[in-house]
Structures are given as C-alpha cells and as structure tokens.
C-alpha cells in the first residue's frame, strides 16, 4: 500500500485502458522482491485504491507484453504499438531507449521534477502539417504575450529592412551556423531556399530564464535530442481528426485539400505516434480547434500545480 516506501518510479509504456488513457501511467513501484511481478500502484490512485496491484516486472514484460498485450491492443486497434510490424518495433524502440530487458520498451525510470521558481518548462507542440499545432501556438502567443514566447531562431539569410539582429532572427554567416550545428547547439534546423535556419538551445534557455513559457513546434526527431538535454520540454502531440472533419476545418481556412492530402496528414500522424509516441507527455485530437485551444490552456495551467515526471537528470 502507499504507506510503504517506494523503491522507484517508472513510466509504463503500455496502457491498461487504451480507451481512455491518452498519456502514459506513472507507477510507484513498492516492491521488486519478485522480479517477475512487481508490486506497484498508479500515480494518482493513492486515495481511491489503497491496495497496490501486481504489474509484470521488467524480466517478464517482454514476453508478457508480446503474448498478451499485443494481442489485446491489436484487437482494440488503438494502441500505440499495436499496429507495428515486429521489424518496425525493433528499429524505433531500440534506437531511442536503452532497455535492459529485450527489444520491447516497457518501463523507464522517472523522477519527480522540481520546477525552479520563475522557470517554466518549454512546451513542445508536435503534429503533422495541417493538424493545427502551428495555429495553436500562434493563438497562445497572441492571447498571452506576457506568458509565452518563442525562441529567436538563427538564419544565414540577410536581414530584411525592418528586421533586427536578435529580434526576428540571429543573423549569422553560413560557416558560423555550420560550426554551431556541428557541436550540437541546435535542437532543430533546416534549409529553405538555400539558407539555413535553426533553433539553438541557448535561444530556448534565454526564454526559460526570462520566466516565460517557450513554445516550440518541433519535428519528432528533435525530441530525442531534447530528452537528453536539461531543457525538459513538456511534449504535446496534436493529432488530426477524421479526414471528413479535417476537410471541414481546412475549408474554413479557405483550403481545399485533395482526398490523398487528407489521408497523408493522418498517415503522417500515425507514423509520428509510432516512432515517437513514447516521447509524448500527452496527446489531443484537434477535432474542434476552439475546444482544443481551451483544453491546451487548462493543461498548461495545470503543469504549474501538478507533479511532473521526467526522465533523469531532473534539473533545468
Ligand atoms: P523567412 O526567411 O521568410 O523568415 O522564413 C522562411 C522559412 O524559413 C519559413 O517559412 C520556414 O520554413 C523556415 N524557417 C524559419 N524559421 C525557422 C526555424 O527556426 N527553423 C527551421 N527549421 N526553419 C525555419
């Protein structure tokens, strides 16, 4: 029961209830005496369920996971990992997380994060083009500019007439950009019309130090880099709604996407879930932008008061 000392906290990479859970469970493991079956209780269940339950230990999760859960979730058709072929699973999971069990990601040790006063975790909004995550970021910035900010990116293009160095961009030459890139100073970068663009960790840290919440829109490949840094972004996946709903939403913006483009948004979302779903802290389906925006703001407000679990190290 919860009064017993917790031996470790883990994030469980499988859902017990795939129909309702849209974020991963944190388990308080209170006994690992039996390596096959640990005693644990789910974070948040302390009061409602004073009795700890048994969860498969790491030594048997691989087998148990494959034999039982894959079958279940495959049938349920809704689990992160249920749709993958064995080969895909192996590739995406072993490259991202060191796992002492086998090829299946099961648990990861987590620690309670202590947010230093006046420093907020950056928020990373992830999603395929047209899922609406860019628009959500824009709205957050415009509704509370004193609370949110974006990191000033670097670029190798020349400043335009009204642009100031350090305001719209940090304007640098190509060799300086490439040198910074080579030593890992950027959390993301890309090329557009023969110019390089990128966001540096220093730019993000500058926003964090100012006391504002840094809003990032990132590719999934940046999440891995960020995870091992001390920036600890809270990652929110914005998933597109059904193709029919997406078509209606885009029509409001004056866009008339072809059916294959709608399909592509969904396929891209699925691919992102499959390759990086374990790096998302939370996900939301953006079926009703007004509602999503409201939920997003509530979620961000909750981060101030609710305990947050992060992989070590826990400092900002
Ligand atoms: P502009 O040069 O007009 O300011 O930006 C042109 C394009 O550069 C944008 O539409 C975007 O595709 C890309 N870009 C701007 N900032 C960034 C950034 O921080 N990172 C990356 N990867 N691309 C950017």
pLDDT in tens, 102-149: 445 677 888 888 778 788 999 999 999 999 999 999 999 999 999 999
Q: 154 C-alpha vs ligand 1 centroid, how far in Å?
A: 9
- The whole model's pTM is what? 0.79
Chain region(s) in the chain for CATH 2.30.30.40: 8-113
Closest approach atom of ligand 1 to CA 189: 22
For residue 216 the two structure tokens come to 């990032």
The residue that leads in pLDDT, 84 or 201, is 201
ipTM above 0.90, yes or no: yes
153 touches ligand 1 (CB under 6 Å): yes
Closest approach atom of ligand 1 to CA 188: 22
189 touches ligand 1 (CB under 6 Å): yes
Q: pLDDT at residue 183 above 90?
A: yes
CATH class of 123-302: alpha beta
Q: 251 C-alpha vs ligand 1 centroid, how far in Å?
A: 25
The residue that leads in pLDDT, 119 or 224, is 119
Averaged pLDDT of the chain: 80
Q: What is the pLDDT of residue 308?
A: 83
Q: What is the pLDDT of residue 14?
A: 63
Give the CA distances from residue 167 to residues 155, 162, 195, in Å, rounded to whole numbers and listed in that order.
Answer: 12, 10, 18
Closest approach atom of ligand 1 to CA 192: 8
Chain region(s) in the chain for CATH 3.40.50.300: 123-302
Q: What is the pLDDT of residue 226?
A: 83
Q: 289 C-alpha vs ligand 1 centroid, how far in Å?
A: 24
Q: 192 C-alpha vs ligand 1 centroid, how far in Å?
A: 7
CATH of domain 8-113: 2.30.30.40
pLDDT in tens, 69-89: 433 333 332 233 323 333 333
Q: 169 C-alpha vs ligand 1 centroid, how far in Å?
A: 10
Q: What is the pLDDT of residue 211?
A: 96
d(CA 62, CA 111): 23
198 touches ligand 1 (CB under 6 Å): yes
Q: 228 C-alpha vs ligand 1 centroid, how far in Å?
A: 25
Q: Tell me which residue has its CA closest to atom 15 in ligand 1.
A: 197
159 touches ligand 1 (CB under 6 Å): no
Percent of the chain with pLDDT over 70: 78
Q: pLDDT at residue 268 above 80?
A: yes
Q: Is the peptide bond before 313 cis (omega within 30 degrees of 0)?
A: yes
Q: Tell me which residue has its CA closest to atom 7 in ligand 1.
A: 192
Q: 59 C-alpha vs ligand 1 centroid, how far in Å?
A: 46
Closest approach atom of ligand 1 to CA 151: 19
């Amino acid at each position: 029961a919860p009064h017993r000392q917790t031996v470790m906290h883990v994030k469980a990479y499988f859902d017990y209830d795939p129909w309702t859970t849209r974020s991963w469970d944190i388990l308080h493991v209170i006994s690992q005496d039996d390596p096959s079956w640990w005693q644990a209780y789910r974070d948040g269940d302390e009061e409602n369920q004073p009795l700890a339950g048994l969860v498969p230990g790491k030594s048997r999760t691989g087998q148990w996971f494959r034999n039982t859960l894959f079958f279940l979730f495959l049938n349920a058709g809704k689990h992160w990992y249920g749709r993958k072929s064995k080969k895909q699973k192996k590739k995406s999971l072993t490259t991202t997380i060191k796992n002492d069990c086998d090829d299946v990601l099961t648990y990861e040790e987590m620690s309670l994060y202590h947010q230093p006063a006046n420093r907020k975790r950056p928020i990373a909004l992830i999603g395929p083009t047209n899922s609406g995550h860019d628009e959500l970021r824009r709205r957050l910035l415009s509704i509370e500019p004193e609370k949110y900010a974006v990191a000033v990116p670097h670029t190798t293009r020349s400043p335009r007439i009204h642009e100031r160095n350090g305001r719209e961009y940090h304007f640098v030459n190509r060799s300086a950009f490439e040198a910074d890139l080579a030593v890992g100073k950027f959390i993301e970068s890309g090329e557009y019309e023969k110019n390089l663009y990128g966001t540096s960790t220093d730019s993000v840290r500058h926003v964090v130090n100012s006391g504002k919440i840094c809003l990032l829109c990132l590719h999934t490949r940046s999440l891995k880099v960020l995870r091992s840094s001390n920036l600890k972004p809270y990652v929110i996946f914005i998933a597109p709604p059904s193709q029919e709903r997406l078509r209606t939403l885009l029509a409001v913006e004056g866009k008339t996407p072809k059916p294959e483009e709608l399909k592509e948004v969904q396929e891209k979302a699925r691919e992102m879930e499959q390759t990086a779903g374990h790096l998302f802290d939370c996900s939301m389906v953006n079926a009703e932008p007004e509602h999503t925006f409201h939920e997003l703001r509530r979620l961000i407000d909750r981060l101030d008061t609710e305990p947050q679990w992060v992989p070590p190290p826990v400092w900002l």
